[in-house]
Structure 1
Amino acid sequence: MVQEKARSPHLVLAMLLLVYVFNFLDRQILGILAQPIKADLGLSDTELGALGGIAFALLYSVLGVPFAVIADKTSRSGVIAISLAVWSGFTALCGLATGFWQLFLFRLGVGVGEAGGVAPSYALIADYFPPHQRARALSIYSLGIPLGLAGGAFFGGWIAETVEWRVAFITVGIAGVVIAPVFKYLVKDLPRPAPTAAAARVPVSAVFKIVAKKPSFWLMAFAASCSSLVGYGLAFWVPSVMIRSFGFSLLEASQYMGSLLLVGGTAGVFAGGWLADKLGSKDRGVYARLPAIAWLICAPLFATALLSDSPFIAWFLLVIPNGLNLLWLGPITTAIQHLVPQAMRATASASFLFINNLIGLGLGSLVMGTMSDMMTARFGNDSLRYSVVAALAFYLLAAFLILFAVKTLRKDWEDEPQQA
């Protein structure tokens, strides 16, 4: 195991990116197919919001920490490969669901699988790339979010129009199961140095103790959670807003959403990592300041676009915040890696993801869906549009929280004593 030759960092990053794309393909397919699923299974917006959020996030958030500990102590690449196979299997099963509770249980299963994917991936990237390249590498990995969301929108909408919504889940699920053994063969863990291996035996409670004493951890975690609450909710519900308030067909909504995510999302994610690497070496506070600026711009642009009467004008207004709302990924995930020693990175990342996903992913689509149901009597089809706009206030709260982390991050940051 330790004897195995390490792969090229770029090959490892490419494979991790591919797995992450599959992670978000599944999530966006549910969002783009929300209307046909709602009609077929007779669901309310609240039930749809629960399927897009808490059904997935519940076990995804809770199991992320134990899976990350296993990854830190055994094989990070092995945990990722098994996770991919498990979540892909449950994704395929989603296509066989006949009612709300069955689909809810299958979504729980998807969450169990995906719990072992992200934190070990962050740690592998931190192992393979030196500190001055890390934010960029993590941003390239995070391109899996807009690429997966855009792919889910394009692919899911096309499948639903040409065949039916169930086929989209089954196809993506089978493809993920096939890729899992290929990933395991191509991606190897780096041998960990002696001091790091000893540190790996430190109990989870010790990792929690380290991050719990660092104010920047809490500020970044809750700020990212507020941002994710809006971001995940928008990704899930904006296709439905396009159908209900702008009169789009399912295929038109999927193409519209996919183009926004592809153009804006990829630019925003990469820009965040590039800027953090460029400016962060001089001032660690940049890793917190960049997301704050991005979130402050996001809220008014999203609101103006979603309240517009013109889909054409709305596209140009939406493309900018669709990039800026993902800009935080490179800077914040890199900063989290630098709050703990090397052997604890996956566990520290999982602690961050636990808070971010339970609040952001768990509540985003559910909060918007519940508000939509409450406003339906007054606003009819536009109730969803107004519930989405109201939730944008969480971007302002995210910016407020992260600005407090600018100072504390400079103090909490741990530079690596050894050469990477």
Structure 2
Amino acid sequence: MVPSVAHTSANAASSNPEASLASLKRRGRIKAIYILALVSSISLLCYYDRFVVAIVAQSIKADLHVSDGEIGLLSGLGFAVVYSVMAVPIARFSDSGRRVKTLSISLAFWSLMTALCGAATSFPMLLLARLGVGLGEAGGNPTMHALVSETFEKRWRGTAISIVVVAGGLGFMAASSVGGWIVDHWGWRAAFFAGAVPGPLLALLLWGTVREPKVANPVADERGILTSSKILLKRRAFKMLCVGLSICTIGSFAMMSWTPAYLMRHFNITASQVGSGYGLTMGVSTVAAMLVGGILADTLAKRDPRWSLWLPAASYVVALPFTVAFLLQSNLANALLLVAPMTFAAGLATPPAYALVQSLSGSKLRATGAALFLLFTNLIGMGVGPSLTGIVSDMFTHFLGADALRGAMALVASAYLIGACVMISGARTLIADIESADKN
């Protein structure tokens, strides 16, 4: 009798444990790459749905007759409060061993709310729908980062998370370029609908094909939200990272939210022209920054772990002069030329910051740490930056006229320097704080 292939393979595997181990490692790598690709796709959609409001702002302003302050509320405080406050309790639920379920449900919900944004017929309706998007996305980034961190070992964690962040950058680029094209051809409502369609499909794929990762004693960690938050905030490096980056993101969220409207007003161009010019330049620069930032952070951290804080701080210091120069341009071509270094410099901060949050949180508090970090950066950065810029722009209109928005953006961008100084101050205890996180 001729032995079957399966039987022969089984005998070969049992007689060659090294080959069996190699096969398991290969399957593990394929699984990890699949999860990374799926999570990256979700990240792309997440950022499209979050930032598409920036490219449709001018159309909404004209259609629904709203002020700059109200537009700032849609992209800033109105979204950020719900997103930030709900991120921590949702992350605690996720950390209890339900990361795949949490991300799947969150994705389906924020996609539904994005569709309702497109159906809104008044500003209050649109604001309520944006609050819903914020609620859904509160379960997004923290859970995505935790899921990827559990899938990849520590030495590859920064690079893996940077890929997820790069996908988010592509989503931001798509919000400007694809969203702008849709606005000019089918209107601002269609731009929201386009971001809603893929969500349920990706949610079903995640739910049906990815198993819950094994978390170290998820049930054994019965600490409440406040206790867990206190543990994390006692680590000085974690606290300084959260506060410092939050201050920096006041400027960066202001720039992201208002640059499309600024270009349309100052240079009298359409949404699709902003998308093809600014959107593509910004997107390519963001992707490059995310890839370089993750790899650079992993490389520098091997020499000295404190580079995980020094690099984000340095990136914002370098970004500030490019930002001011961008706002001072009277020629569109020169302004777009400065978008690349301005975006690249600020974008270098994101991958090392996200990876450092995971290292400072420890295995049991990964999603909680990410959520607490996002509570700071989004409530302060996203909540204050766009809204403050809109309010200041309305105030400046009385004496700056058409340059009011430009003056407001320049003023708010100065937060980069303050935040960088705060982050640098946290480097002193960084190594000890990482060791403490590993033990707990």
Taking structure 1 as the reference length, the TM-score comes to 0.94
Q: Does 1:78 align with 2:101?
A: yes
Other structure's SS at 1:33 match: helix
Asked whether the 8 Å contact 2:232–2:238 carries over to 1, the reply is: yes
- Over aligned residues, Cα RMSD in angstroms? 1.7
How far the C-alpha of 1:207 sits from its partner, in A, is: 1.7
Aligned residue identity for 1:87: W
How far the C-alpha of 1:202 sits from its partner, in A, is: 3.1
Shift in CA distance, 240/417, structure 1 to aligned 2, threshold 3 Å = closer
Other structure's SS at 2:303 match: coil
- Which residue does the alignment assign to 2:401? 380
Asked whether the 8 Å contact 2:363–2:438 carries over to 1, the reply is: no
Aligned length: 412
Aligned residue identity for 1:246: F
* 1:295-345 deviation line (CA, Å, top 9, x unaligned): 111111011011111221222222012112121221111111122330211
- Which residue does the alignment assign to 2:313? 292
Asked whether the 8 Å contact 1:276–1:287 carries over to 2, the reply is: yes
Shift in CA distance, 143/236, structure 1 to aligned 2, threshold 3 Å = same
Which has the higher mean CA deviation after the structures are superposed, 409-418 or 183-192?
409-418
Q: Specify which of 376, 388, 392 is matched with residue 371 of structure 1.
A: 392
Instruction: Determine the C-alpha separation between the residues in 1 that align with 2:402 and 2:201.
Output: 41
- Which residue does the alignment assign to 2:13? none
- Which residue does the alignment assign to 2:202? 179
Question: 1:125-144 counterparts in 2 under 5 A?
Answer: 125-144=148-167
Q: Does 1:314 align with 2:335?
A: yes
Aligned residue identity for 1:168: A
Q: Does 1:252 align with 2:273?
A: yes
- Which residue does the alignment assign to 1:46? 69
Instruction: Determine the C-alpha separation between the residues in 2 that align with 1:307 and 1:319.
Output: 15
- Which residue does the alignment assign to 2:377? 356
Instruction: Determine the C-alpha separation between the residues in 2 that align with 1:146 and 1:21.
Output: 7
Which has the higher mean CA deviation after the structures are superposed, 360-369 or 409-418?
409-418
Asked whether the 8 Å contact 1:72–1:200 carries over to 2, the reply is: no
Q: Specify which of 169, 176, 179 is matched with residue 146 of structure 1.
A: 169
Q: Does 1:37 align with 2:49?
A: no
Asked whether the 8 Å contact 1:260–1:318 carries over to 2, the reply is: yes
Aligned residue identity for 1:145: G
Q: Does 1:408 align with 2:432?
A: no
How far the C-alpha of 1:109 sits from its partner, in A, is: 0.5
- Which residue does the alignment assign to 1:210? 231
Instruction: Determine the C-alpha separation between the residues in 2 that align with 1:108 and 1:324.
Output: 31
Percent identity of equivalent pairs: 33
Asked whether the 8 Å contact 1:292–1:400 carries over to 2, the reply is: yes
Q: Does 1:62 align with 2:85?
A: yes
Instruction: Determine the C-alpha separation between the residues in 2 that align with 1:205 and 1:102.
Output: 33
Instruction: Determine the C-alpha separation between the residues in 1 that align with 2:319 and 2:438.
Output: 38
Shift in CA distance, 340/239, structure 1 to aligned 2, threshold 3 Å = closer
Q: Does 1:164 align with 2:214?
A: no
Question: 1:236-251 counterparts in 2 under 5 A?
Answer: 236-251=257-272
Which has the higher mean CA deviation after the structures are superposed, 374-383 or 409-418?
409-418
Which has the higher mean CA deviation after the structures are superposed, 89-98 or 307-316?
307-316
Aligned residue identity for 1:405: G
Asked whether the 8 Å contact 1:15–1:187 carries over to 2, the reply is: no
* 1:231-257 deviation line (CA, Å, top 9, x unaligned): 221111101111111222222112122
Shift in CA distance, 378/80, structure 1 to aligned 2, threshold 3 Å = same
How far the C-alpha of 1:282 sits from its partner, in A, is: 2.5
How far the C-alpha of 1:198 sits from its partner, in A, is: 5.0
Asked whether the 8 Å contact 2:78–2:131 carries over to 1, the reply is: yes
How far the C-alpha of 1:101 sits from its partner, in A, is: 0.9
Which has the higher mean CA deviation after the structures are superposed, 97-106 or 36-45?
97-106
Instruction: Determine the C-alpha separation between the residues in 1 that align with 2:315 and 2:438.
Output: 32
Shift in CA distance, 182/301, structure 1 to aligned 2, threshold 3 Å = same
Aligned residue identity for 1:41: L
Other structure's SS at 2:402 match: helix
- Which residue does the alignment assign to 2:114? 91
- Which residue does the alignment assign to 2:41? 18
Other structure's SS at 1:119 match: helix
Structure having the higher Rg: 2
Q: Which ranges of structure 2 fall in alignment gaps of 5 or more residues?
A: 1-26
Instruction: Determine the C-alpha separation between the residues in 2 that align with 1:28 and 1:414.
Output: 37
How far the C-alpha of 1:171 sits from its partner, in A, is: 2.2
Asked whether the 8 Å contact 2:117–2:126 carries over to 1, the reply is: yes
Instruction: Determine the C-alpha separation between the residues in 2 that align with 1:416 and 1:361.
Output: 28
Instruction: Determine the C-alpha separation between the residues in 2 that align with 1:203 and 1:366.
Output: 32
Shift in CA distance, 385/319, structure 1 to aligned 2, threshold 3 Å = same
* 1:177-235 deviation line (CA, Å, top 9, x unaligned): 23211122233222234xx3354333333322221211111110011112222222111
How far the C-alpha of 1:281 sits from its partner, in A, is: 2.1
Asked whether the 8 Å contact 2:52–2:175 carries over to 1, the reply is: yes
Q: Specify which of 201, 219, 237 is matched with residue 240 of structure 2.
A: 219
Asked whether the 8 Å contact 2:278–2:339 carries over to 1, the reply is: no
How far the C-alpha of 1:417 sits from its partner, in A, is: 6.5
* 1:252-288 deviation line (CA, Å, top 9, x unaligned): 1121221122221011111111011111122110000
- Which residue does the alignment assign to 1:277? 298
Instruction: Determine the C-alpha separation between the residues in 2 that align with 1:233 and 1:187.
Output: 36
Asked whether the 8 Å contact 1:284–1:413 carries over to 2, the reply is: no
Shift in CA distance, 102/416, structure 1 to aligned 2, threshold 3 Å = closer
Other structure's SS at 2:305 match: coil
Return the structure number with greater helix share.
2
Q: Specify which of 337, 343, 348 is matched with residue 327 of structure 1.
A: 348
* 1:329-380 deviation line (CA, Å, top 9, x unaligned): 2111111112233021111111111111100111111011111111112222
Q: Specify which of 275, 278, 287 is matched with residue 266 of structure 1.
A: 287
Asked whether the 8 Å contact 2:111–2:200 carries over to 1, the reply is: yes
Shift in CA distance, 136/147, structure 1 to aligned 2, threshold 3 Å = same
- Which residue does the alignment assign to 2:7? none
Instruction: Determine the C-alpha separation between the residues in 1 that align with 2:141 and 2:74.
Output: 21
